[in-house]
């Protein structure tokens, strides 16, 4: 209960910060427009023509602040589980700017500057972003002193339990700490009196009805939160709905949204991001091409056959990072070949050139794949592009994986990349397909940037 009180207090502090920031956004926009931007010749305005701030912009500030805060609450920006989500913040501020711009057309007593509305939006986004950084730092400080940590009793000795432990270790800012990992419910029942000082129980293996009832009883008596990972957890997500027939719970699994008009939206997203990517990286493409040519013999671009959508063969383009006749090096070293066949990756690959190591470390070898995206063979976000031999590792999920285009980045890249075992990569690809949305794509794109800069799992 103490932890929940702290969380509520922190959220109240964030709400207060947001309200102050939102009310201050129009005055800040006013200052930027009439104190700084007016120095630009195209935007020059004599001081005598400056509109007065009070009362019109003053009341606009209060109206904007209160309305945006209501929209933030409506969009669940202050949910205890999602308090650092920027999607709801962006949506709320954008909608609020649209509303005040629309209403201003019907107000005849005063002419508001449209540029101030735009600057207000950017100011609000910037200030609320700073607020969330402050919030995270305070929260992180509490976790450091173990003041707000959720201690978890993890039940299950399986791959799912290992994934959860690894995630908590990689993301300590989430506030979860493993109290103990025990093999099964029976062990917990036998040692319950000795198991103290934890707030949550997470079960990662199948349960019988009587075991679930027993857990509910423990939760009621000890005030402990119980969470259960379902058997078919890969298919759970935003596209699952619940119903009941005569008291029997029914789960409806919806197919992913990567077809129809949503599929066309994803195509548009791909074209926009690929075009921006090529324009931004054009100078780098020229420099890298020269360095590859100077470093070793062979072509600048390497084409590799992969499996595309619906099982069609495609050639993905990369900057060449290996020596000429690199496959002969692998053939001459059986131990390396065996390691490669396990995950189709080598940590210390003798086939890679000097410039190739640098390109791989920073994922710069994949820049030419923007051309693959514009060609229609790949997507910005999607499952890993695989060779045909790898399809065997996907087992019954092959058809699901082949329904979509492979991606330049994906959940696999922002979750550990080459550090992940193969089964986990498959699971992340399936999860992405089943839970696709434009919001998820944007989230993965934003997470790719720090993942690449910090070189997580890159080799």
Question: In total, how many domains does the chain have?
Answer: 3
One domain, residues 380 and 420? yes
Q: What whole-number distance in Å separates Cα of residue 37 and Cα of residue 28?
A: 12
Cβ neighbors of 366 (< 8 A, separation 6 or more) are 318, 408
Structural contact between residues 383 and 404, judged by C-beta atoms closer than 8 angstroms = yes
One domain, residues 197 and 127? no
HEC sequence for 305-324: EEECHHHCEEEEEEECCECC
In this predicted model, which residue has the larger pLDDT, 245 or 283?
283
One domain, residues 128 and 158? no
One domain, residues 159 and 138? no
In this predicted model, which residue has the larger pLDDT, 416 or 373?
373
pLDDT cut 70: percent of the chain above it: 84
pLDDT digits (tens, 9 = 90+) for 185-243: 877 777 766 777 788 889 988 888 788 888 888 788 777 888 888 766 665 555 667 77
Does some domain include residue 415? Answer: yes
One domain, residues 427 and 401? yes
Does some domain include residue 343? Answer: yes
One domain, residues 107 and 193? no
Flag whether pLDDT at 290 surpasses 70: yes
pLDDT digits (tens, 9 = 90+) for 103-119: 888 776 777 778 889 99
Residues of the domain holding 200: 150-229
CA separation (Å) from 309 to 51, 382, 398, 416, 426? 58, 11, 11, 24, 16
Question: For residue 175, what is the domain's CATH number?
Answer: 3.40.50.280
Does some domain include residue 285? Answer: yes
| Residue that is last in its domain, among 144, 167, 191 | 144
Does some domain include residue 93? Answer: yes
Does some domain include residue 266? Answer: yes
Question: Is 0.85 surpassed by the pTM of this model?
Answer: no
One domain, residues 46 and 187? no
Does some domain include residue 255? Answer: no
Does some domain include residue 300? Answer: yes
Q: In which band, very low, low, confident or very high, does the pLDDT at 314 lie, cut at 50, 70 and 90?
A: very high
Q: What whole-number distance in Å separates Cα of residue 363 and Cα of residue 201?
A: 39
């Amino acid at each position: 209960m103490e932890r929940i009180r702290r969380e509520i207090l922190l959220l109240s502090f964030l709400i207060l910060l947001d309200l102050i920031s939102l009310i201050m956004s129009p005055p800040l926009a006013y200052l930027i427009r009439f104190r700084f931007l007016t120095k630009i010749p195209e935007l020059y305005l004599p001081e005598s023509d400056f509109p007065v701030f009070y009362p019109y912009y003053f009341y606009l500030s209060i109206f904007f602040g209160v309305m945006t805060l209501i929209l933030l609450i409506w969009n669940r920006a202050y949910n205890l589980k999602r308090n650092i989500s920027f999607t709801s913040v962006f949506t709320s501020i954008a909608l609020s700017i649209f509303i005040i711009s629309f209403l201003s057309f019907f107000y005849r007593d005063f002419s508001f500057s449209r540029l101030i509305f735009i600057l207000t939006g950017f100011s609000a986004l910037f200030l609320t972003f700073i607020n969330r950084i402050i919030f995270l730092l305070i929260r992180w400080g509490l976790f450091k002193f173990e003041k707000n940590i959720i201690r978890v009793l993890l039940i299950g000795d399986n791959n799912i339990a290992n994934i959860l432990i690894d995630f908590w270790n990689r993301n300590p800012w989430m506030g979860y700490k493993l109290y103990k990992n025990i093999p099964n419910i029976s062990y917990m029942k036998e040692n319950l009196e000795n198991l103290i000082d934890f707030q949550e129980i997470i079960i990662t293996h199948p349960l019988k009805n009587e075991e679930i009832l027993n857990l509910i009883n423990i939760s009621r008596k000890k005030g402990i939160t119980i969470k259960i990972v379902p058997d078919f957890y890969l298919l759970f997500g935003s596209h699952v709905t619940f119903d009941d027939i005569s008291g029997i719970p029914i789960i409806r699994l919806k197919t992913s949204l990567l077809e129809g008009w949503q599929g066309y939206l994803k195509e548009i997203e791909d074209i926009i991001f690929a075009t921006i990517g090529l324009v931004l990286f054009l100078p780098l493409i020229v420099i890298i091409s020269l360095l590859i040519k100077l470093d070793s013999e062979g072509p600048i671009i390497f084409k590799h056959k992969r499996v595309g959508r619906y099982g069609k063969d495609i050639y993905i383009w990369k900057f060449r990072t290996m020596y000429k006749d690199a496959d002969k090096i692998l053939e001459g070293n059986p131990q390396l070949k065996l390691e490669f066949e396990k995950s189709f990756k080598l940590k210390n690959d003798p086939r890679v050139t000097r410039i190739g190591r640098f390109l791989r470390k920073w994922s710069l070898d994949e820049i030419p794949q923007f051309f693959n995206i514009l060609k229609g063979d790949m997507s910005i976000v999607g499952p890993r592009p695989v060779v045909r031999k790898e399809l065997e590792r996907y087992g019954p999920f092959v058809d699901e994986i082949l329904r979509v285009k492979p991606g330049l980045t994906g959940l696999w890249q922002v979750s550990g990349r080459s550090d992940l075992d193969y089964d986990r990569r498959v699971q992340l690809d399936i999860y992405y397909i089943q839970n696709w949305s434009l919001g998820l794509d944007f989230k993965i794109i934003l997470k790719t940037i720090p993942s690449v800069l910090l070189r997580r799992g890159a080799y």
